A and B are shown apart, each in its own frame.
Chain A
Amino acid sequence: MKIELRHGAGGADTAGLIDSIFARHFHNAVLDKMEDGAVLPRPAGELVLTTDSFVVQPLEFSGGNIGRLAVCGTVNDLSCMGAVPKYLTAGFILEEGLETDTLERMVASMAATAKEAGVSIVAGDTKVIEGNGGMYINTAGAGIRPQGRCVSAANLCPGDQLILSGTLGEHHAVILSSRMGLQTSLKSDCAPLNAMTEALFSAGVSVHTMRDITRGGLATVACELAKASGCALAIEESALPVSEGVHALCGILGLDPLTMGNEGKLLIAVPQADTAHALATVKAVPYGENAAVIGTVCAGSGVTLQTAIGGRRVLSPLRGEGLPRIC
């Protein structure tokens, strides 16, 4: 069956769609009440809120899909603030012509990813617009930050070490290869990272800053952190983990792994004394096995890369469009 405008009209067709797909897959005690809003217990600690919209093309790609991405993106934003992600809302904008089977696969994937991340999808909305069978998802997320966790882009200090939680560029490479019709064995790294961030806090690591590396890549994130903290970042090219597949694609297409997007990687800044412990902790959790120390925070400003061949390069944020609709 294909989605038609009637599915978004708010009547029986909308209710049918909600019952047959959304309620069935997202099912939990709060959502099942089907009220106009989710009533949630008041948390202890600080409430952290975030929202993100997902418009990736194609909807399904090697290693993930728009549904998994919509959960991971919001969970990871909360996690990077030191929060424990708890609740998500999901808003769907569907284009007429979308196959309900496709929609159901995306929703099932969201449900599975939410379960993996330990979050509940407690409210939602669906609209249908004219179009060509596409779909877009907005997720908002609420998390609770326990007392004493002070994680912020402004917290970088000279002497901090930078840990990258894994290899660069997979998600970007997968989306690009898919659009170009290239056959590769690459998989998107799209993953929820809250287990990784919780492991760091549980291990007693004094985390100063965490950021997930998405559009714009490591170079853009590093420049943002340098600016927010008033510090300089020095990165070692030879320490950067890049998979063979991404390296090969970059060689063919003239891409730079430093400005390619991921959807399951963190840049983490910790005091020097905690570095070895933090690295071992990240490497021991899922999605962290290729983590590496990639650089240092220094006094000054801007981001420099010590290149593998012995040169030095100033890194700038990605400019211009990059690759459109990557997440």
Chain B
Amino acid sequence: MRYSAEVTVKLKAGMLDPEGTTIKRALEHLGYFPDSVRSAKEYLIELEAESSDMARDQIDQMCQKLIANPIIHDYTIDLREIE
């Protein structure tokens, strides 16, 4: 089976997010006043796996070993089967 995953990596709650803060300030200059803006990075990963559980497990390992830094990041995996 072929799977596609959207992996979202963001700074842990409470950690300073200078990128989000800067964007919030820019939005205020444009007349928008959101309560908060947090930034995140998204990675799109496609892979072959025997099942969705195995695909998710592999991507989870990728996140833990490289894509996210557990000291400062949380991540989510949105997985779906593709053609």
> A and B: real partners?
no
